[in-house]
Structure 1
Amino acid sequence: MLIKFKQLYQARMAYKSGNLGDFAILKADAFGSKVNPEVESNLQPVVGYHPPIDLEKLSQYPKGSFGWEYAQHMNANHLKPFNISPELEDIAKSNVFALRYAVTHDIFHVLLGFDTSYAGEIGVLAFAAEQNYSSSLKIGLKMAKVFAPIIFPGQAKAIFANLRKGQELAKKAKFLLGVRFEEYWERPLSEVKAEFGLTTEPARLTATAV
């Protein structure tokens, strides 16, 4: 694998400046992230699609709307949206998977009902791996199944419950990575979930801090 050190340096600078969208894209470009042809085909609707996400604006949407719920999730967890600088447009187009996975990660938390604990992250990872987004996610899930309960024993029960639930949801849901979710902000969250087959709520087990 040929590493592009210029992009790697730029990614480091983007991370230090807090521009996580640019960081995700530059890191993917530096390491040459790959995606299987089937997934690449399903991502065609979002090639070149990365509208800026304005949390302040979304916070003013009706309570219970998809956008409002997303803004609440982001603000409550002190998270920033993955926005992309205009000068990285060409790199973004050539790294659609990396960009879309980064952008939709927090969107998936909202849609799937998983919190941001390690157990919640396992639930999102299990969903993404089951929908066959990339082989690296499957490898990551296998490693997490082994090491997560050891590193976070207080969350072990929630980890395995969320893992199963993430896989169950993935099997029932439509392929989500290629959806233009930003066009659904004003709709009720319950309606959006129903449209994409996400009608089963994950078991909300409280993870005990280690």
Structure 2
Amino acid sequence: MLKQLQKIKALVAAKKSGNLGDFAILKSDLLGAKVAPETAAKLQPLAGYHPPIDLEQLSQYPPGTFGREYANYMQANHLQPLNVSPELEDVARRNVFALRYVVTHDIFHILLGFDTSYAGEIGVLAFAAEQNYSKSLKISVKIAKWLYPLLAPQQTKLIFANLKKGEKIGKRAGFMLNYRFEEHWQEPLEKLKNSLGLV
């Protein structure tokens, strides 16, 4: 119980500090997202891997590169990369799934071509669920399938279209959560998508 209270205090402190990366990984750690054993094994080589993402630096890359397109997307949507503080290194090492899922979420938006609307979010969620990262994601898709059309009725048609599209891409593509995207910022976005089987 004491450990859970400490986690809650850390979560509240991260939210107040405005560090969304810390908040996201602490929230995932607190909720205890269960990862599929085969996923955990594939992610083990990435324990402790979370290089900081600098949008200003990425925005200097040539147009059409993965890094530049990611920076443009983040800035256009007023989003910040979910960087994790060195102080949370133990959580990052212990919960590699939470770390990679948090860090790659917006990257998946770029690679899959989904925006930040409810329709876009369900596309990314369906992709991740189809990749079999975690049972909780499959449950989240089932909930979102009914909740999102209620929250955004004008997007209903697109929500179900993106749901199918995300599932289809998730089946076709290789396992992507263990890919070191941060080492490919200078690569042309279309080339990267091709190499990952996303086109």
TM-score if structure 1 supplies the norm length? 0.91
SS in 2 for 1:4: helix
C-alpha separation in 2, matches of 1:40 and 1:183: 21
Partner of 1:122: 122
Partner of 2:37: 37
C-alpha separation in 2, matches of 1:106 and 1:160: 20
Cα deviation for residue 43 of structure 1 reads: 0.8
CA offsets 1:78-122 (integer angstroms, 9 cap, x no match): 001111111211111001101110100000000000000110000
C-alpha separation in 2, matches of 1:3 and 1:131: 32
Partner of 2:22: 22
C-alpha separation in 1, matches of 2:73 and 2:137: 24
C-alpha separation in 2, matches of 1:152 and 1:135: 25
Cα deviation for residue 5 of structure 1 reads: 1.4
What letter is aligned with 1:71? A
What letter is aligned with 2:57? K
Q: 1:121-160 residue pairs with structure 2 within 5 A?
A: 121-160=121-160
Contact 2:8 2:30 in 1 (8 A): yes
Q: 1:27-176 residue pairs with structure 2 within 5 A?
A: 27-176=27-176
C-alpha separation in 2, matches of 1:170 and 1:189: 18
Cα deviation for residue 147 of structure 1 reads: 2.1
What letter is aligned with 2:10? Q
What letter is aligned with 2:106? D
Cα deviation for residue 3 of structure 1 reads: 6.7
Which is richer in helix?
Answer: 2
**Deviant stretches of 4+, over 6 Å:** none
SS in 1 for 2:51: coil
CA RMSD in angstroms comes to 1.4
What letter is aligned with 2:87? E
Cα deviation for residue 2 of structure 1 reads: 9.2
Cα deviation for residue 30 of structure 1 reads: 2.4
C-alpha separation in 1, matches of 2:75 and 2:22: 20
What letter is aligned with 1:158? L
Q: How many residues align?
A: 199
C-alpha separation in 2, matches of 1:198 and 1:151: 29
Cα deviation for residue 7 of structure 1 reads: 1.4
C-alpha separation in 1, matches of 2:72 and 2:182: 15
C-alpha separation in 1, matches of 2:29 and 2:143: 24
Contact 2:34 2:136 in 1 (8 A): no
Fraction of identical pairs, as percent: 64
C-alpha separation in 2, matches of 1:31 and 1:69: 32
What letter is aligned with 2:176? L
Instruction: Check if 1:196 corresponds to 2:196.
Output: yes
